Amino acid sequence: MPLNSQICPNDNPLLTEERTKATFDTNQMAAVIYEGHKFAERRREITRKIAEIPDLHDTVDPAFMSREEKIENSARKSYHLTKHLDKIADKANPAEMAHVTNEVIGCEGNPLALHASMFMPSLIALASDEQKSKWLTRAINREIIGTYAQTEMGHGTNLRKLETTATFDKSAQEFVLHSPTTTSLKWWPGNLGKSTCYAIVAATLFIDGKNYGPHNFMVQLRDEKTYVPLKGITVGDIGPKMAYNATDNGFLGFDHHRILRENMLSKHSQVLADGTYVKPKHAKVGYATMVHVRAHMVTHQGQFIAYATTIAIRYSVVRKQGEIQEGKGEVKILDYQTQQHRLFPMLARSFAFIFTGVETRKLYYRVLQELDKGKVSNLADLHAVTSGLKSVVTYQAGQAIEQARMSCGGHGYSKASNIPEIYGVAIGGATYEGENMVMLLQCARYLMKAAHEARNGQPLSPLVQYLTRKYERVSRIGTSTNQDYSAHLSAFEHISRKQIFKAADRLEKLVKDGNSRQEAWNKNGVELNRAARLHTRYFIALCFYEAVAQIADSACRVVLQDLLHLHLDYELLDMAGYLLQDDYLSSHQIDWLKDDMYRLLAKIRPNAVSLVDSFEFSDRELRSVLGRRDGHVYENLYKWAKASELNRDDPKKSLYDANSSTYQWTCSANDCFCVNGTQNGTKPCLEEDAPWKDGCYDWNNVLDDPQKYPNKWANNWMTVDLCKLHFENNRIYTYFTVSEKTCYLSNTSYLDKKENEDWDWDCQVTCPGDNNQRCGKKNSRAFVYKYDSGNPDYMCICHPMYTGDDCESLKTNPCLDDPPICQNNGTCSYDWVTYKHTCKCDSDYKGENCEYPKQCMKTTCKNGGTCVEKDDGSFDCECLNYYHGDYGEEISRCEYDKPCGDHGTCSDGPYSGIDPEFNWSADSI
């Protein structure tokens, strides 16, 4: 029984060969990574369930989508996810929800991303119990969707200078929110642009003209049903970014917008009715949301590296290039030591971050519980740890992912690898939730305080107790006393301690030299940040060390000890400059570290694929052709490239136009192009002569080889007209179809489908008669077919998501149109299943889009008739007996007077007015 559970028949044998070498059970390793078998199994279950729900899948690789399509696609999946969520996962379990999001949405973002990661955690951390009962339950049930809006165009880091104001109006018991300048516009909040109707807004609080600094307010931005922005609110999208392009990061401005006093989040600070301000117990207590996200970022960044290294390591055993020994054949690129050196330390880093993430979250929840009981003493520890980690982890994750990308050569640069996307998303983390340099400085502030306390013999937090520990003057690394990793960890401790005191001494010196404290701080910034980095790298090393020591499964522990060891060697070598200072480490010991690292690279090599397999990322989650579980990279890379928009028409007219000086055409027997403005050198090239408006096709070859393909005429671009010509020349067929390049003549029944029959929308199976397994214009968009001989037009049956003559456009949510599609204050709602909107009209309007004023008034229908409004703008009068006419204004004398009795035939004459002249004839009195 192989120890690697990812082995499947028909996989690329190069990958299977690697998997059979595992020295540990990948299921056991997955339990180590996912904190127990229970959650590892839940992940598998969730992955299986998602695989069975087509609504949750991408129909086209988002790499080929425009930004708008990405956002729509993400919204579509989020909508269906909400519908199916109860069947798939426990929505109150953040780990399950994170896995669901990774599988279904991916890392590019979704309309609910900030709702889950910032809005709800902010409510939990900052709202009073009363406020939670008002908003939190609705938020959990997604009745309201929100985001967190802090950053402004002009200020991000320096919160004290936020320009958005919240001024308390005592008489109205309201706050007035206002954006006085362009730079005060909120800028960047995720999902603010289009997706959310609420935001927690950070604004500077003013009471009676006094500035109380930034506070958080719950603000409704849009109507909950129509999503139309409320009065006094301007909101929109900030445009495309380096990554996260499925997210609508937005801007927001207020024009004296009023909210209730109760909308200031008041768990920690309040404004009473009389304008009295109640201070929070601890100045930093309001930053809990930021800390929450930072605590989770460590795990997420570890996972980003895990994605990238999984892709790169799998690909590196499928890819063969060059020989190590001449004549012995090409080798897998993972056999090169340089490739191992690029990838294995990064793989070790992902484990280091994942284990550190677990510890950090434990610390976070412990401090949060203490805060609830009013204990704030450990908040500074948490703030320092998460600030340092956030910076080191995002920076090192960027390095690691970039290494993985480069290790895949040219294919790593292609979006088919998905590494560019992972990189773009991961490095966003260096900026959001506190810019990295600034965060390091915050960590350094804590360390400088600790250094001062250590020197004065004051008690220290466990996190910095090493500052006073007895230390060794010379490292034991590489000596006979170096039995385990204790010499490595001592080295981390040594350089961190040294740098912290060095930065503290330099700071004091700068002050003594006459600089103010602030000036000295700034002039010492780089040294301070170095101290914060070293301290944090030591913290990570310790977390990794302690996690590995606790692993029960011995086979897993042994291989993770190798990774830990590699991590420690690699990190120390990276910091060799510090180690060499004061001869703590000799150059001989540096060489020892290098040799030790090379030994470990070779030792880890056989387990490399099984280690990344243990993350158990599904292909859906990885979204990478290079990192496919089955290792069938090349054929799928080709298939992926063929899906490119640019391959839909050949040649591409816009490029053709750009290359030629005119819009004219020249057609020869086998080709079609425009040279010198003439066709065949004689007739001027006129656009109307172009056989196909997006390009050319080969007239002669179209009718090629009817024996070989009795009912198929293929090879070149096929216009409907041309296909029709074949059809008319081959009258034995009943139908003709144009799909992509190909013309089909047939009598088969599939062409006979009616519009309301079930169509194979996503074309996972071969579309009848279509060799490319593609339907219509874009994969899975439409089935283009031509029906019956009499009708000269083709028609596309569009998937409900698409619209246009050729199903070429993704439908957008019309409720977001500007001007609003529902006119005259109608309320718009959009059905994500049918992709149709409905308007609920104001009482005075009617029509599909509330475009018509209602016609019926009390007096509209005469003589007791009932007026009935019609959707096309008109109305009907339902008349009482004997009455007729558009308004019920006419009476039928034949019916009313019965002049012909019961047996005679009576006919009324032409009517006019309510007192009509009438004729009647009695032909059988």
Interface residues with ligand FAD (CB under 6 A) are: 114, 118, 148-151, 155-157, 188-190, 244, 249, 428, 431-432, 434-435, 437-438, 441
> What is the Cα–Cα distance from 661 to 676, expressed in whole angstroms?
8
Q: Which is nearer to ligand FAD, 189 or 776 (CB)?
A: 189
Q: Which is nearer to ligand FAD, 234 or 461 (CB)?
A: 234
Q: Which is nearer to ligand FAD, 217 or 432 (CB)?
A: 432
Please confirm whether the linkage preceding 792 is cis (ω < 30° from 0). no
Q: Which is nearer to ligand FAD, 114 or 784 (CB)?
A: 114
So which residues are the catalytic ones? Answer: 433
Q: Which is nearer to ligand FAD, 503 or 797 (CB)?
A: 503
> What is the Cα–Cα distance from 334 to 608, expressed in whole angstroms?
9
Q: How far is the CB of 159 from ligand FAD (least distance, A)?
A: 9
DSSP one-letter string for 124-165:
HHHS-HHHHHHHHHHHHTTSS-EEEE--BSS-SS-GGG---E
With H, G, I as helix, E, B as strand and everything else as coil, classify residue 430.
coil
Backbone angles phi, psi at 768, to 5 degrees: -55, 130
Backbone angles phi, psi at 729, to 5 degrees: -80, -10
In the block, tokens 């600094």 appear at 213
Residue of minimal Cβ distance to ligand FAD: 156
Q: How far is the CB of 250 from ligand FAD (least distance, A)?
A: 9
Q: How far is the CB of 851 from ligand FAD (least distance, A)?
A: 38
580 to 345, 489, 495, 542, 588: CA distances (angstroms): 22, 16, 10, 22, 11
Q: How far is the CB of 151 from ligand FAD (least distance, A)?
A: 3
Q: Which is nearer to ligand FAD, 286 or 428 (CB)?
A: 428
Q: How far is the CB of 192 from ligand FAD (least distance, A)?
A: 7
With H, G, I as helix, E, B as strand and everything else as coil, classify residue 347.
helix
Q: Which is nearer to ligand FAD, 437 or 511 (CB)?
A: 437
Q: Which is nearer to ligand FAD, 191 or 490 (CB)?
A: 191
Q: How far is the CB of 429 from ligand FAD (least distance, A)?
A: 8
Q: Which is nearer to ligand FAD, 357 or 434 (CB)?
A: 434
Q: How far is the CB of 149 from ligand FAD (least distance, A)?
A: 5
144 to 199, 257, 370, 667, 885: CA distances (angstroms): 10, 20, 30, 60, 51
In the block, tokens 């740890």 appear at 385
Q: Which of 501, 391, 385 is nearest to 448 (CA)?
A: 501
Q: How far is the CB of 289 from ligand FAD (least distance, A)?
A: 10
> What is the Cα–Cα distance from 499 to 503, expressed in whole angstroms?
6
157 to 109, 242, 402, 431, 434: CA distances (angstroms): 23, 20, 27, 10, 7
Q: Which is nearer to ligand FAD, 116 or 441 (CB)?
A: 441
Task: Identify whether the C-beta of residue 564 lies closer than 8 Å to the C-beta of residue 545.
Answer: yes
With H, G, I as helix, E, B as strand and everything else as coil, classify residue 529.
helix
Pairing mode, strands 146-149 and 198-207 = parallel
Q: Which residues pair with 257 in a beta bridge?
A: 177
* Residues whose CB falls within 8 Å of the CB of residue 191, separated by 6 or more in sequence, listed in order: 109, 111, 112, 113, 114, 115, 145, 147, 247, 248, 249, 250
> What is the Cα–Cα distance from 428 to 413, expressed in whole angstroms?
19
Q: How far is the CB of 186 from ligand FAD (least distance, A)?
A: 7
Q: How far is the CB of 395 from ligand FAD (least distance, A)?
A: 12
With H, G, I as helix, E, B as strand and everything else as coil, classify residue 183.
helix
Q: How far is the CB of 222 from ligand FAD (least distance, A)?
A: 17
Taking only Cα atoms into account, the Rg of the chain, rounded to an integer number of angstroms, comes to: 36
* Distant-in-sequence contacts of 32-39, Cβ < 8 A, 24+ apart: 32/551, 32/553, 32/556, 32/560, 32/614, 33/351, 33/354, 33/614, 33/615, 35/358, 39/95
Q: Which is nearer to ligand FAD, 216 or 396 (CB)?
A: 216
Q: Which is nearer to ligand FAD, 155 or 320 (CB)?
A: 155
Task: Identify whether the C-beta of residue 120 lies closer than 8 Å to the C-beta of residue 60.
Answer: no
Q: Which is nearer to ligand FAD, 247 or 742 (CB)?
A: 247
Q: Which of 831, 833, 781 is nearest to 806 (CA)?
A: 781
* Residues whose CB falls within 8 Å of the CB of residue 406, separated by 6 or more in sequence, listed in order: 342, 412
* Residues whose CB falls within 8 Å of the CB of residue 625, separated by 6 or more in sequence, listed in order: 416, 417, 418, 633, 636, 637, 640
Q: Which of 12, 20, 8 is nearest to 606 (CA)?
A: 20
35 dihedral zone (left: phi>0; alpha: psi -120 to 50; beta) = left
In b/e form, how buried is each residue of 538-562, taking b as 16+ CB within 10 angstroms? bbbbbbbbebbeebebebbbebbbb
* Residues whose CB falls within 8 Å of the CB of residue 323, separated by 6 or more in sequence, listed in order: 329, 330, 331
